[in-house]
């Protein structure tokens, strides 16, 4: 038995040893392809600091190690048990596949100016023979194959040399079983962590490709394997938009006309319905165009604001600004995640992810930034995160933003900024905004969309941040999370920065021509699960606050509302007109009829939930209704079938608008290598 166990342990160690002796030369080969790609495509006159190039090369090396180690882990199913000759053949196959994918990525970058993305799957979706003919005609296919074979042969030769010099079978013969077992454990976990790409932080992901302010260098980071993997992910995440009625039918409607009729909208034909979705009352003549600065604050929940006070300060400098603001205190997010909420706000879409694939590379006409730019605004996206996250660096520029300022840009502008897990501290976002807004010409209004990130696990804060003592007995929410107090500190940090920015603007020359608005992307998970019915209404709640000279807040501040209502409110206030979608209602209107289905005081969560002043429910599911309200629920609290029907109609029409519009757009501009 001991002998059998010893042989088994020895075989495992031999397999892990072989895996590592494959990984080392494979990483070198992939890095060599990257350096060749960098040299081959280096633009004439292009100058960047050597430190940026080194950072790119190092990050690329980490991704090379990641994909190579993953291959090594998978090969552990066979490597311990095969002969040396078979081991070399397996290694040669893996090496050739990896090297060729990176060479394909090189040519793909040369054609599309981007690493492999979801468009690569056009090989199967288009006229395959025509695409292959184009590839044969336009690319050095034979040379690339020969180069791939040469690099693979050199890599396999190095692997063979390492196997010969460090023969695992010879080494294992004289080792005790306990030592062998220890080596198995150590080498195996080393392999696992290599596949993760890091020891301390989260595993290497798509956002980690963005390491400099140079898009060119960032594009050099991914090898062919990881680029293809992310392309596959994007393809899977992108929705099939070929059936425009899919969402409507899920909501119980056979046509957009049927849904429009429920909402009292024009509904004679599809064109009339579509026009009604973007029809707005004309702005008064002479309405000035004001700067609009909008903040999507990471994890900015509504609940802490309920307990704000001298002994429980979670707002800092933001607290005194609320006296002159329009604070909508019964307000829900569109989604429970940052990117889905971002898409819902920018594109009025319940379909998400929408822009990770091909859709994100074509302008969406009703995108918020597109509307602002067409209205004469300079459009700017500013964030403390790396814009490579969810491909934002590419998507946002296509969707109407003139500039994208991210963690790398801020690091370049402020060399003392530390790059953390998610990016730089939010402090630098507000520094940049203050400087940028002060320099904006009076005759050119600006629209700024800001995404913060510091108020996010692991709730790290700058070293110089002074934590505020709080009487935790004043916290009336749930206390089960061990991160509650850390989260409240990071919440205070972000809110205080926002308050400082608002105060500076209100005291400065831009005061009368600037609207500032802020909301949270979603509730904070550490604040509780909200299982109790009386607290259930808080589960999606985030603040929505507007600061602006002359803003009349009206009677809707305590009524249910949500993300879908924000730009229907902000654009008229800022003097922006255009073809944006009437996703919600204008929260500053004072003459709203309770019988108007389009302007009814309800909130919608874009996963298919709605909330009125009595409770919350899943659309179309009467049994899901829970009585829960910021006010004491009425004695006759119950499911309202009419509310449900109208909210299903609104949800279905928003879904239909995206599908029918983008399906037509795809038909006009088909994916192809010949585009």
Give the confidence band of 562 by pLDDT, cuts at 50, 70, 90: very high
The answer to whether 665 and 659 have CB atoms below 8 angstroms apart is no
What confidence score (pLDDT) does residue 356 get? 80
* Tens digit of each residue's pLDDT (9 = 90 or more) over 35-86: 999 888 887 677 888 888 999 898 898 888 888 878 777 777 676 667 777 7
Give the confidence band of 565 by pLDDT, cuts at 50, 70, 90: very high
What confidence score (pLDDT) does residue 8 get? 53
**What's the full length of the chain, in residues?**
675
* Tens digit of each residue's pLDDT (9 = 90 or more) over 308-355: 999 999 999 999 999 999 999 999 999 988 898 999 999 999 998 888
What confidence score (pLDDT) does residue 495 get? 98
Residue 500 has pLDDT above 70, yes or no: yes
* Tens digit of each residue's pLDDT (9 = 90 or more) over 246-280: 899 999 999 999 999 999 999 999 999 999 999 99
| Greater pLDDT, 114 or 580 | 580
Percent of the chain beyond pLDDT 90?
48
Question: Phi/psi of residue 545, each to 5°?
Answer: -130, 140
Residue 4 has pLDDT above 80, yes or no: no
Residues 495-501 have a mean pLDDT of: 98
Residue 668 has pLDDT above 70, yes or no: no
Residue 675 has pLDDT above 50, yes or no: no
- 482, 483, 485, 491 alpha-carbon torsion, rounded to 10°: -160
- How do the domains of the chain map onto residue ranges? 2-237, 306-587+602-639
What confidence score (pLDDT) does residue 169 get? 56
- Alpha-carbon gap, residue 517 to 648, rounded angstroms: 28
Neighbours of 103 (CB within 10 A): 20
What confidence score (pLDDT) does residue 673 get? 39
Residues 90-108 have a mean pLDDT of: 89
What confidence score (pLDDT) does residue 179 get? 54
What confidence score (pLDDT) does residue 5 get? 47
Of 89, 94, 79, 61, which Cα lies nearest the Cα of 19? 79
* Tens digit of each residue's pLDDT (9 = 90 or more) over 446-488: 999 999 999 987 888 998 899 999 999 999 988 877 889 999 9
Structure tokens at 486: 């850390």
CATH topology of domain 306-587+602-639: Alkaline Phosphatase, subunit A (3.40.720)
CA angle 137, 139, 144 (to 5 degrees): 130
Give the confidence band of 88 by pLDDT, cuts at 50, 70, 90: confident
* Tens digit of each residue's pLDDT (9 = 90 or more) over 613-638: 999 998 998 888 888 998 876 778 99
């Amino acid at each position: 038995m001991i002998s059998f166990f010893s042989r088994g342990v020895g075989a495992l160690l031999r397999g892990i040893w072989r895996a590592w002796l494959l990984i080392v030369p494979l990483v070198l080969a992939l890095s060599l392809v990257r350096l060749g790609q960098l040299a081959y495509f280096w633009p004439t006159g292009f100058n960047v600091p050597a430190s940026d190039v080194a950072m790119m090369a190092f990050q690329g090396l980490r991704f090379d190690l990641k994909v190579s180690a993953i291959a090594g882990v998978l090969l552990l199913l066979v490597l311990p048990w095969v002969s040396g000759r078979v081991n070399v053949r397996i290694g040669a196959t893996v090496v050739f596949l990896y090297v060729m994918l990176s060479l394909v990525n090189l040519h793909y970058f040369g054609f599309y100016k981007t690493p492999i993305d979801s468009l690569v799957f056009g090989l199967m979706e288009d006229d395959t023979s025509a695409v292959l003919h184009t590839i044969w005609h336009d690319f050095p296919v034979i040379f690339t194959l020969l180069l791939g074979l040469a690099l693979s042969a050199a890599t396999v030769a190095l692997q063979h040399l390492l196997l010969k010099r460090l023969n695992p079978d010879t080494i294992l013969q004289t080792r005790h079983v306990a030592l062998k077992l220890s080596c198995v454990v150590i080498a195996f976990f080393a392999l696992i962590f290599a596949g993760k790409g890091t020891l301390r932080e989260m595993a290497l992901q798509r956002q980690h490709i963005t390491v400099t302010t140079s898009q060119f260098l960032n594009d050099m980071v991914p090898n062919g394997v990881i680029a293809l993997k992310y392309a596959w992910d994007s393809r899977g995440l992108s929705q099939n938009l070929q059936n425009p009625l899919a969402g409507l039918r899920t909501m119980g409607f056979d046509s957009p006309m049927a849904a429009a009729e429920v909402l009292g909208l024009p509904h004679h034909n599809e064109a009339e319905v579509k026009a009604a979705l973007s029809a707005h009352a004309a702005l008064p003549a002479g309405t000035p165009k004001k700067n609009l600065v909008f903040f999507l604050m990471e994890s900015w929940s509504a609940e802490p604001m309920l307990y704000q006070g001298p002994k429980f300060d979670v707002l800092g400098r933001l607290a005194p600004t609320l006296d002159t603001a329009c604070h909508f205190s019964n307000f829900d997010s569109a989604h429970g995640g940052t990117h889905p909420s971002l898409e819902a706000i920018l594109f009025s879409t319940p379909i998400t992810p929408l822009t990770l694939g091909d859709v994100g590379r074509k302008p969406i006409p009703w995108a918020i930034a597109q509307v602002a730019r067409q209205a004469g605004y300079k459009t700017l996206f500013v964030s403390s995160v790396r814009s490579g996250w969810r491909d934002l660096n590419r998507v946002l520029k296509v969707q109407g933003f003139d500039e994208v300022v991210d963690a790398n840009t801020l690091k370049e502008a402020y060399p003392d900024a530390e790059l953390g897990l998610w990016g730089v501290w939010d402090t630098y976002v507000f520094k940049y905004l203050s400087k940028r807004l002060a320099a904006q010409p009076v005759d050119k209004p600006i629209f700024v969309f800001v995404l913060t990130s510091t108020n996010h696990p692991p709730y790290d804060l700058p070293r110089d941040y002074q934590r505020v003592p709080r009487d935790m007995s004043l916290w009336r929410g749930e206390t089960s999370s061990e991160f509650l107090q850390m989260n409240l500190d990071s919440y205070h940090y972000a809110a205080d920065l926002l308050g400082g920015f608002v105060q500076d603007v209100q005291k400065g020359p831009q005061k009368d021509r600037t609207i500032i608005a802020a909301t949270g992307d979603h509730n904070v998970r550490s604040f509780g699960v909200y299982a109790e019915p009386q607290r259930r209404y808080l589960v999606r709640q985030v603040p929505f606050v507007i600061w602006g000279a002359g803003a009349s807040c009206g009677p809707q501040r305590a009524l249910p509302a949500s993300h879908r209502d924000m730009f229907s409110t902000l654009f008229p206030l800022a003097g922006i007109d255009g073809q944006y979608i009437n996703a919600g209602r204008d929260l500053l209107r004072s003459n709203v009829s309770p019988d108007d289905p389009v302007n009814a005081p309800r909130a919608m969560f874009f996963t298919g939930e709605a909330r009125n002043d009595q409770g919350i429910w899943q659309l179309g599911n009467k049994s899901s209704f829970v009585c829960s309200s910021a006010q004491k629920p009425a004695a006759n609290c119950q499911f309202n079938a009419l509310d449900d029907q109208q909210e299903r109609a609104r949800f279905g029409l928003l879904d239909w608008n995206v599908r029918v519009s983008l399906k037509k757009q795809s038909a006009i501009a088909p994916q192809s290598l010949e585009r």
